[in-house]
Each structure stands twice: as C-alpha cells, then as structure tokens.
Amino acid sequence: MVSRLVSRGLRVVLACVLVMGGAGYWARGAGAASLVIDAATGTVLSADAPNHLWYPASLTKMMTVYVALSEIDAGRLSFDDKIKVSAAAANVSPVRFGLKAGQVITVREAINAAIVASGNDAATALAEKIGGNEAAFAEKMTAMARSIGMPRTVFRNATGLPDDGQVTTARDMAVLAMALLRDYPEHYPLFNQRTVTIGKRSRGTVNSILGSYQGADGFKTGFTCGSGYNLVASVERDGHRVIGVVLGSKSRGERVAEMTKLLNKAFAGDKAAGASLAALAAQPGDEGASPTILNGGACSAAQLAGGEGEVITSAARLSGWGIVFGAYADKAKAQQVLEAAKQNLGPLAKGTRSAIVQKAYEGSAKYSAMLVGFEQGEAGKACKAMWEKNAYCLALSPQVLGNPDMVWR
C-alpha cells in the first residue's frame, strides 16, 4: 500500500552511485561515489563522495512535480486546472511529448507527460503555469530543495536541459526521492504509469526499470551529454522498500544493469556501518568545483539535448512520427540525402529534427537518414511529397521508432 510507504517502521535503503567508465571516460571531476542508507535508523551503510556535484538531467522533473504537488496540496492549483501551451514550451528542445503552441491541457496531463514521457514541453508548460515563467519557477524549485534538505542542489530550469548552474548530488537526489514518498504518498502512483495520452497522442514510459525489475514501481530517468544516463528507482518487495539512484552510466543498458546490481545487494542485506544521512550533509563536498562532464560514448549514442544530424544508435526517445529516406553504408551519403530531403520538403519539414541512426544490418553498419517530430498526418503528407519527386520515403510510427530491433531502409 502506498499509504504505508514511509510509515515509521518501514525499512528503506537508499543506494546512490556515480558509475565510472574506463580511463579517459570523464572529461573532468572524476571520482567514484556511492551511498547506501537505512532510513529506518538514519544510518549510512556505505558512502563514497556522496556530495560530489552532478548534472541531474531529467531527474529534475522529480522536483518539478514535487513543486506542483505542493501547490495542489496548498489549494493554489488543481489537477483539473487548464494550461495553454506557450510557443516557448512547445518549441523547447527534445525530448518533447509533442504539444502544440496554443493547445490546452490540464495540470494532470502535464504532470503525466513530464513523468512518463519525460516531455520537456510538458514540464515547461507546467512551470509557466505555476511560476509565470520558467526562471521564476526554477527559483521556487531551488527554494523547495533547501526546505526539504537538499543543500547542494540548484535548479535553473524545470526540464533538466543543459545549464552549467543546474547541479545536484547523489545525497540530494536521495533526499528528494524520500520527500516525494513521505509527503505525497497518495500521488506516488503517478510515477508508476506506463503510458500517457493527451488527445490522440500517446507515449510509453521512458523508464525501462519499471518493466525489468520485480517490484519496481516508480521514479525517473534522465540523460544529457553532461550527466550521462541517470536513474532513480523505487522498489518494494515483501514490505521492504528500496530506493536507488544511479548517476552517470554510459548507456541505458548499463544504467539498468548497475541499478539491478545495487537493488539486489540491498534486498540481500548487504550492509556496512556508517554515519547518518543528516551527517552527510555537513561533510565537505566540492562546492565551487565543476560537475563531472561526460564525453565520448553516451553523447554520440543518444540525441537528447540538441545536435542536428548527429549519428545516434537508437531512436527510441525521439518524439513523434518519423520518416526515413533510406539506409546507406556511408555516413556522408546519408547526410547528403537528408539535406536534399529537407530542401525538397521545404515548409513540410518545419519543426522537425534531423537524425542519422546507425544500426547493424546484414553484418555491416547502415546509416538511416531521418526526420523526426511529425504528427501522423504530417508524416504521410511529407512522404507523399517525396514520392511525387521520385524519392524514397517511409513513415515510421513512434512504436516502430522505439523498437531497438528495427532497421529502417
């Protein structure tokens, strides 16, 4: 029962890890960090640099939702309140749910899209509804962070998109996870939804731990090139709830594998004595130091923070319908075809994003030239226009884009 999530006798373990790659993987600020805490006693079971600064990426949306829930709890906002999506919100960088400027949605729909689909457009619209503008809302987020015991966290936006001043720590994210469970247990199921629908558009969850680990029932993923792959997960087995935080993995798969290892150890009772969670806040951190910045593999493997035409290895989190103009053995050829297609489409390509997706096909690498971010009808019109010019085009649904085994030709 959700109502029992944070009862006095409940045993909660918080596992927070900064996953390190091989030599040269981190651009700066390298240093492993881990944290395991028994919340029933406040005892730190293990810790290594838990106050190291890190970029939260879309874990930020946990605080976006926390602030929204606090407004609802105070009676200043309701789930049924209407939000008119601004042009700024609709055009925010991917990942987007696909909201349009002028579209009217509810607060509940915005929260659901921010959590389930990690929609930056939804999070921005919600922030503007509450704060008037995103900057003012971010100030509320930072103030809320201080009030619940997150001394090293600063928010500059509601999405987690790259900002050098937006930082957190493993310890602070653990505190936020605990606060959501403690303060709003009746709303915790929001974090366990597998799909979200607004109008005729539906999106599946981006949080793969929900379907891959027994008892996993909530919280959030995040990625930018600066942060790597982040994950906060909450799991309950036999009345024993574990919250895990993984920051900085090199891939989605590694993120889930590392979380699985940590959760397994927690449920197996792997322990070591230590200080209290409160005491960790008083220990020296690295204030003034730059957060670790990830470079290399993850930045070329996912196109979430911009970078038109980057080569990526998965289109699972590219928003909306896509159209593909063929798959080529040569990357330069794929780029050439993509640019020609954009010129041919003209205004039909407005608001879409370029992507070159690298996948193995018949034993060799193929580079698919794509545009993504269409509505279904718009994708059909664009492909029809390409066929009329005797050029190859195939429309791809979000479900097809999200299938890691598909190769588009």
Q: Is 146 exposed, middle or buried (0-12, 13-18, 19+ CB in 10 A)?
A: exposed
Name the active-site residue from 34, 58, 227, 354. 58
CA dihedral 369, 372, 377, 378 (to 10 degrees): -80
Name the active-site residue from 118, 227, 314, 319. 118
61 annotated active-site: yes
Q: Is 151 exposed, middle or buried (0-12, 13-18, 19+ CB in 10 A)?
A: middle
Name the active-site residue from 61, 140, 265, 366. 61
Contact (Cβ atoms closer than 8 angstroms) between residue 283 and residue 51:
yes
Contact (Cβ atoms closer than 8 angstroms) between residue 250 and residue 228:
yes
86 annotated active-site: no
Q: How far is CA 10 from CA 14, 46, 156, 274, 315, in A?
A: 13, 19, 34, 19, 40
265 annotated active-site: no
Taking residue 404's Cβ as centre, other Cβ atoms within 10 Å add up to 11
CA dihedral 272, 273, 274, 277 (to 10 degrees): 80
Helix axes 60-73, 107-116, angle to 10 degrees: 160
Catalytic residues: 58, 61, 118
